[in-house]
């Protein structure tokens, strides 16, 4: 088979990828929101208000 892997290993790899994609998207949204919240909380702490 392709790259020396049997067909069932390709099924396992594809299943893991398909399951992990929604978790990655959710994590990226959470991380972005967390960074925005941190930036808002730092604004104005040290006199850099604009």
Nearest 5°: phi and psi at 10? -65, -35
- Residue 41 CA to residue 39 CA, distance in Å, equals 5
* pLDDT recorded at residue 11: 93
pLDDT of 40: 80
Distance, CA of 50 to CA of 47 (rounded, Å): 9
The DSSP element (H or E) to which 39 belongs, if any, is helix 7-42
Instruction: Going residue by residue through the chain, which has 50 residues, state the pLDDT in tens, using 9 for 90 and above.
Output: 677 888 899 999 999 999 999 999 999 999 999 999 888 876 666 655 55
pTM for the structure as a whole: 0.57
pLDDT of residue 43: 65
The pLDDT assigned to 48 comes to 52
């Amino acid at each position: 088979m392709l790259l020396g892997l049997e067909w069932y290993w390709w099924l396992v790899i594809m299943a893991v990828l398909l399951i992990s994609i929604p978790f990655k998207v959710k994590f990226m949204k959470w991380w972005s929101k967390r960074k925005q919240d941190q930036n808002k909380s730092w604004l104005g702490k040290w006199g850099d208000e604009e």
